[in-house]
Structure 1
């Protein structure tokens, strides 16, 4: 454990004194969403591209970028927004080769970034770049496998894999497309997909297996589900037929997360394994879902605001002096081996962890 992190965690019981209420607006110095968001958003501007397969902008970078944009927009930080646009500009020209191809769930979600930029700037070129990533997720390619064609025939995306990670990757780009076009086909098909994943992967305790053949409650994987349901519920029209089912899945999960939150306020790499290590990216995703649920009125404030606050207060000491989040599980494929999840390396400053912290700052600042 890094020295500074160890010291901060030793001091945490004193900080915990601040957490004995249900306020999601009143935080001590160093713990406010304004301070944390600024540290992490400007830290992103200093970083290099995190590439998928060494070729294309990766989904962790996309989500970190999105989080910084949301923070910049809600705080009206024009300098930050301009800098984030400047970072993107080469993707139209000299770095165009880094634009992800549209043949995989982890690549198509890139479209959520130009669609976020379009919402912030209203520049049409971002819309034109981003929308095909949402459209091609439901356009079956000629070389699709029999299984992919089968998913499509049932009304699902051909990129379906039944990995819980998918339910943020698919949901975010389809939701963004709905927000910019107001065409309900995008949000409706994302909701249908979510219901199928809920039926296949959510267990009676509210948590999710990583995949049907991997019966472990991996932290960040469950975080993708929590954040994905949250994004859908934030935007899904009240008259959508799948909304009650998704809300039920969300509420069942939040109740379980309340039960499994550790005494220190975090969640473990394997959520139901008390001896496993506390992991930051999944914990931050759960915190985002909880904050949003309380503020939107989906969750009882008296019951869940203290859970969300305790989690936020626990997360901040894991940010080091450079603005990098520590104890982040590396990118993880599924594997039917419990020890595999225990032994995953832990990174510092990995965008898997930076991004959900920024989502939390946005959720805390949102009116």
Structure 2
């Protein structure tokens, strides 16, 4: 008995020592993400961008127009999700509550603005109520958020199936979402929604099916140099298009369980892309409207998405800190220089459909304050303070 008591005492002392060690262990400091210039402080920039989002009405695909929108689509959802996460990470309770109060309207007087999930652009609004649920555990938000997540992979009725284009039917028959169109933008939209559903429910089906979906996009669109064409019939490395995939892979890998069978393939695709992106970053830290064309204009929304992917990779230990950390730092500081006095980002490519025409991409309008750019800037701040 005396020997048993001695063993138990040693065990308890060991546990106490481990507990003290855990309590006194600080997160690893990443030199590249410390001591930013005053005008590039991520906590301050993230707060200003989130507050800017709160001052604005809902947009129409990221553009603020005189006519009130009839639905809330992906640029708003992406900015809203980023602001919610940033406020939580920085313990800004006032900002968090105002963002949640705004989401509360989606359950009542603004419920009509939640669109039917007929495509990825409209389904992704589900990330907002799901993030609110993850923070508050309010079941009302879970119910609303899961509707588009489940709709995205639902079993189609014979009538619905016959209305699909033939190529979509073939993809659906292989077990992919009926939203599958093989545009690279999709793999942020689908990934963000299904990953949030997994976080909210801990139901493995959500994360497993989006990982499988990601591999289909990797196999279809990724080129040997690691970058992606805008679509399988549009062979151009469009900046923001590639940015959606970079951000989507970073987000998915952050949540995807380490033992998931699809993880090694996605990680390889991610690292291949990051390696080539380094080669196309210009001397000021920016990436261009067409990534492989140094004469194309530096574009901020794609640059912000690549910066987010770099920051995430460095913090997770997937990417070399000295190389990618410095590249991310340079990009972030450069991006902050594109913010105007209203906290609106300049040089954002306007909303862009696909077209097999190089000049089409080069001639896209450069706009200021559009949520296509505001959103990934918030993600960068979010990633830096995490």
Question: TM over 0.5, yes or no?
Answer: yes
Cα distance in 2 for residues equivalent to 1:304 and 1:176: 27
Contact 1:25/1:364, CA 8 A, preserved across alignment? no
Tell me which of 154, 166, 178 is aligned to 2:186.
166
TM-score (norm 2): 0.88
**Structure 2 residue aligned with 1:5:** none
Deviations 1:330-351 (A, max 9, x none): 1111000000000111111100
RMSD: 1.3
Cα distance in 1 for residues equivalent to 2:358 and 2:124: 29
**Structure 1 residue aligned with 2:6:** none
CA deviation after TM superposition for structure 1 residue 359, in Å? 0.5
**Structure 2 residue aligned with 1:50:** 59
Is 1:198 equivalent to 2:183 in the alignment? no
Is 1:118 equivalent to 2:127 in the alignment? no
CA deviation after TM superposition for structure 1 residue 151, in Å? 1.7
**Structure 1 residue aligned with 2:261:** 241
CA deviation after TM superposition for structure 1 residue 361, in Å? 0.7
Is 1:365 equivalent to 2:385 in the alignment? yes
User: What SS class does the counterpart of residue 244 from structure 2 fall into?
Assistant: helix
Is 1:127 equivalent to 2:142 in the alignment? yes
CA deviation after TM superposition for structure 1 residue 133, in Å? 1.0
Tell me which of 352, 356, 363 is aligned to 1:332.
352
**Structure 1 residue aligned with 2:298:** 278
Give unpaired runs (5+ residues) of structure 2.
1-29, 62-67
Is 1:290 equivalent to 2:310 in the alignment? yes
Is 1:107 equivalent to 2:116 in the alignment? no
Deviations 1:70-114 (A, max 9, x none): 110001111101111222222222222101112111111111111
**Structure 2 residue aligned with 1:29:** 38
**Structure 1 residue aligned with 2:329:** 309
Contact 1:138/1:152, CA 8 A, preserved across alignment? no
User: What SS class does the counterpart of residue 187 from structure 2 fall into?
Assistant: helix
User: What SS class does the counterpart of residue 51 from structure 1 fall into?
Assistant: coil
Map 1:22-101 → 2, pairs under 5 A: 23-52=32-61, 54-101=69-116
**Structure 2 residue aligned with 1:8:** none
Cα distance in 1 for residues equivalent to 2:128 and 2:105: 14
User: What SS class does the counterpart of residue 164 from structure 1 fall into?
Assistant: coil
Give unpaired runs (5+ residues) of structure 1.
1-20
Cα distance in 2 for residues equivalent to 1:311 and 1:171: 25
CA deviation after TM superposition for structure 1 residue 22, in Å? 5.1
**Structure 1 residue aligned with 2:209:** 189
**Structure 2 residue aligned with 1:4:** none
CA deviation after TM superposition for structure 1 residue 29, in Å? 0.8
After TM superposition, which residue ranges in structure 1, 4 or more long, deviate above 6 angstroms?
none
**Structure 2 residue aligned with 1:318:** 338
Contact 1:114/1:129, CA 8 A, preserved across alignment? yes
Cα distance in 2 for residues equivalent to 1:83 and 1:117: 12
**Structure 2 residue aligned with 1:207:** 227
Cα distance in 1 for residues equivalent to 2:35 and 2:372: 27
Cα distance in 1 for residues equivalent to 2:329 and 2:182: 32
Deviations 1:233-275 (A, max 9, x none): 0011111111010000000000001000001110001000010
Contact 1:222/1:282, CA 8 A, preserved across alignment? yes
CA deviation after TM superposition for structure 1 residue 127, in Å? 0.4
Cα distance in 1 for residues equivalent to 2:197 and 2:110: 24
Contact 1:233/1:243, CA 8 A, preserved across alignment? yes
Map 1:170-181 → 2, pairs under 5 A: 170-181=190-201
Cα distance in 1 for residues equivalent to 2:69 and 2:127: 20
Contact 2:58/2:69, CA 8 A, preserved across alignment? no
Cα distance in 2 for residues equivalent to 1:34 and 1:349: 19
Between Structure 1 and Structure 2, how many residues are aligned? 346
User: What SS class does the counterpart of residue 361 from structure 1 fall into?
Assistant: helix
**Structure 1 residue aligned with 2:23:** none
User: What SS class does the counterpart of residue 23 from structure 1 fall into?
Assistant: helix
